[in-house]
Amino acid sequence: MVIGSDTSVVLDGQILGKPTDRADAVATLRRLSGRRHEVVTGVAVVVAGADGSVTTTSGHEQSSVDVDELTDHTIEWYVSTGEGDDKAGSYGLQGAGGLFADRVTGSVSNVIGLPMGRLHKLCRIAGVDLLDFGSTS
């Protein structure tokens, strides 16, 4: 089984990718400050059967995040940690960046980067039960 996923942060219809540098991270966090944005993650599951068959399923999950008003000091401190360097939208909900999220509507695991509920459904469609820990195959 192969699982692939990628997450995008969307603000005002524009995709905010991973920051190109620390100045870009500061600019992105300033744009997100005090605003709501969308987080969309696409997920694909490919399962190769013992008989040579291949099953592919895919889908996406969307959540909304309301970000608190962030001071320049807070943004500069956060960017200096490097935590958001490799994250869409320049922040990570699972770390100190989680302090900035006033509200998440939808899947929290989606915002972190892998929507577990969606993954579970896609795996079931592909014939894999993620809850079957006793499987030896």
Domain count across the chain: 1
Q: What is the mean pLDDT of residues 48-72?
A: 96
Q: Is 120 inside a domain boundary? A: yes
pLDDT for the residue numbered 84: 95
> How confident is the model over 15-29, as a mean pLDDT?
96
Q: Where are the beta strands (DSSP E) in 12-137?
A: 14-16, 36-48, 54-67, 101-105
Cα-flanking dihedrals φ and ψ of residue 54, to 5°?
Answer: -130, 130
In a domain, 83, yes or no: yes
The beta-strand segments (E) located in 12-111 are 14-16, 36-48, 54-67, 101-105
Quick check: is 60 in a domain? Answer: yes
| Three-state secondary structure call for residue 80 | helix
**Residue position matching structure tokens 């500061």:** 26
- 106, with CB counted inside 10 A (0-12, 13-18, 19+), is middle
Kindly provide the b/e burial profile for residues 9-28, where b requires at least 16 CB atoms within 10 angstroms of the residue's own CB.
bbbeeeebebbeeeeebbbb
**Residues belonging to the active site:** 6
Q: Above 80 in pLDDT, residue 83?
A: yes
Domain interval for residue 37: 2-125
DSSP, res 68: P
pLDDT at 112 over 80: yes
130 in any annotated domain? no
Instruction: Report if residue 109 sits inside a domain.
Output: yes
Predicted confidence at residue 11, as pLDDT, reads 98
53 located within any domain: yes
Q: What is the mean pLDDT of residues 32-52?
A: 96
Q: Is the pLDDT of residue 137 over 70?
A: no
> What's the CATH code of the domain at 106?
3.90.950.10
Tens digit of each residue's pLDDT (9 = 90 or more) over 121-136 = 999 999 999 988 655 5
Q: Following CA atoms 10, 73, 100, 110 in sequence, which dihedral angle do they give, to the nearest 10 degrees?
A: 40
Task: Tell me the β-bridge partners of 67.
Answer: 101
